[in-house]
Chain A
Amino acid sequence: MVWTTIAVALAAFVLAIGIIATSVLNLARKRSAFVVTQRWRSIFEGESLPDSVPLIRRSQVATVLHVWNDCYVAGARPQLVRAARAVNFEALALDLVRRRREDERLIGLFALGTMRSPAVVPVAIKLAAGGPALLELVAYRALALVDEGMVLPFVQKIAENDEWNVAKVEFVCVELGARKLSRALNHVVTNASGAQLERLRPFLRFCLPQSTKA
Chain B
Amino acid sequence: MTPFAVHRIDNPTAALIVLIVEVLLFSYFLVVNAVYLGTALVAFVRLPRLVRLLRADPLRDLTPASLPGVSVLVPAYNEERHILRTVESLLNQDYPNFEVIVVDDGSTDATVDVLIERYGLALSSEIHPIAIPAVPVRATYRSSSERRFRILVKDNGGKGDALNAGINVAGNRLIFACDGDSVYTKDALKKMVEPFVDDSKTVGVGSSIGVSNDCLLDYDPIVRKRLSKNWLVRFQVLDYLNAFLSSRVGWARCNALTIVSGASGLWRKDVLIEAGGFRTDTKWEDLEMTIRVHHMLRKKRRAYRIRYTPFSICWTDVPDRVTSLWNQRVGWHRHVSECMSLHRRLLFSRYAGVVGWVMLPYLMLAEWLSPLVVLFGLLFGLVAAYFGFLGYFSQVVLFALVLALGVLTSCCALLLDELTFDTYRLPDALRLLLCTFFVVLGFRPLVTLANLAGFWRWATRAPIGGHRDIVGPGSPPYDPLRS
Contact = CB atoms under 8 A, between A and B. Distances in A.
B433 A4 contact: no
Contacts of A22: 415, 418-419
Contacts of A23: 418, 422, 426, 429-430
Nearest to B56: A103
A54 interface: no
B408 interface: yes
A5 B397 CA distance: 7
Q: Size class of B's contact patch?
A: 35 or more
A164 B56 CA distance: 16
B62 A168 contact: yes
A167 B64 contact: yes
Contacts of A5: 397, 400-401, 404
B414 A132 contact: no
Contacts of B422: 23, 26, 30
Contact of A133 (B4, B62, B198, B400): B198
Contacts of B394: 1
A90 interface: no
Nearest to A74: B61
Interface stretch (A10-18, A38-46, A120-128, A150-158): A10-18
A2 B404 CA distance: 12
A15 B415 contact: yes
B202 to A, nearest CB: 11
B55 interface: yes
A171 interface: yes
Given A15-B415, A20-B433, A73 B401 contact: no
A135 B59 CA distance: 12
Nearest to B26: A1
Interface stretch (A64-72, A176-184, A185-193, A206-214): A64-72
B139 interface: no
Contacts of B66: 166-167, 170, 202
B397 A135 contact: no
Interface string A16-55: 1011101110110010000000000000000000000000
Nearest to B393: A2
A9 interface: yes
A163 B196 CA distance: 10
A171 B60 CA distance: 11
A166 B56 contact: no
Contact of A73 (B59, B194, B397): B59
Contacts of A15: 408, 411-412, 414-415
B53 interface: yes
Contacts of A166: 64, 66, 197
Interface in B358-404: 394, 397-398, 400-401, 404
Contact of B53 (A8, A72, A102, A170): A102
Interface string A112-126: 000000000000000
A1 B66 CA distance: 59
Nearest to A15: B411
B49 interface: yes
A162 interface: yes
B57 A106 contact: yes
A165 B70 CA distance: 17
Given A4-B401, A5-B404, A165 B198 contact: yes
A1 B5 contact: yes
A50 B325 CA distance: 59
Interface in B136-151: none
A12 B57 contact: no
Nearest to A24: B426
Given A19-B414, A103-B56, A168-B62, A12 B404 contact: yes
Given A8-B404, A19-B429, A170 B418 contact: no
A153 to B, nearest CB: 20
B62 A9 contact: no
Contact of A106 (B56, B425, B430, B433): B56
A62 B52 CA distance: 12
Interface in A93-147: 101-104, 106-107, 110, 132-135
A27 B58 contact: no
B200 interface: yes
B397 A167 contact: no
Contacts of B4: 1
Nearest to B4: A1
Contacts of A62: 56
Contacts of A73: 58-59, 61-62
For the complex of A and B, list the 9 residue pairs with the smallest distance between their C-beta atoms, beginning with the closest. A69-B58, A103-B56, A15-B411, A103-B52, A9-B404, A12-B408, A22-B418, A8-B404, A5-B401
7 contacts: A1-B394, A4-B401, A8-B401, A12-B436, A15-B412, A16-B433, A73-B58
Given A12-B408, A23-B418, A27-B425, 11 more contacts: A16-B407, A20-B429, A23-B429, A24-B426, A26-B422, A66-B58, A107-B58, A134-B54, A162-B199, A164-B198, A202-B66
Interface of A: 1-2, 4-5, 8-9, 11-12, 15-16, 18-20, 22-24, 26-27, 30, 62, 66, 69-70, 72-73, 101-104, 106-107, 110, 132-135, 162-168, 170-171, 202
